Amino acid sequence: MIPGCELCSSPGGAVLWQNDICRVVRVDEPDYPGYCRVILKRHAREMADLAPAERDSLMAVVFAVEAAVRDTLGAEKMNLASLGNMTPHLHWHVVARFRDDRHFPTPIWGAPQRDTPVPAERTARAAGLAAAIASRLAS
């Protein structure tokens, strides 16, 4: 627990799933339905700071969430990233990308490419994500 660290002191979003080492939260970003973050519970800065077993456990969740998001939303491409320049507490972004999304094909942190509304059906599908993640991680 690091004083002033946002991800030590708050969940960082609505929690969809958790275990002893990490939590999966929904990111409130209307342009990107199904956008999740997988957040390490303890404070660590880099993947290189984790022991191999902890690293593998965290990545197993990241890849399960990737698969659940893809299955649930039917993405054109999945984007995964661990950046943390502003909040250096390990967390993974898991984002479903579509040809018609706001930034495609640039990364979501780049310049917007268009301003078309998100299909309502995509947002509706994202509501099934918590169940899809739980199902993936139960097996």
List contacts with its own copies (CB under 8 A): 45-48, 55-56, 59, 63, 66-67, 70, 76-86, 88, 97, 104-107, 109-111
Q: Is the peptide bond before 11 cis (omega within 30 degrees of 0)?
A: no
Q: What single letter denotes the amino acid at residue 104? A: F
CB of 67 vs its own copies, minimal distance in Å: 4
In what helix (H) or strand (E) does residue 61 lie, and over which residues does it extend? helix 52-73
CB 66 within 8 A of CB 77: no
Residue 3 or 110: which CB sits closer to its own copies? 110
Q: Measuring CA to CA, which residue among 62, 54, 45 is closest to residue 5?
A: 45
Work out how close the CB of 14 gets to its own copies at its nearest, in angstroms, rounded to a whole number: 23
* Nearest to its own copies of 90, 126 (CB atom): 90
Q: Which is nearer to its own copies, 14 or 83 (CB)?
A: 83
Asked if 62 and 80 touch (Cβ cutoff 8 Å), the reply is yes
Report in angstroms how near the CB of residue 64 gets to its own copies at its nearest. 9
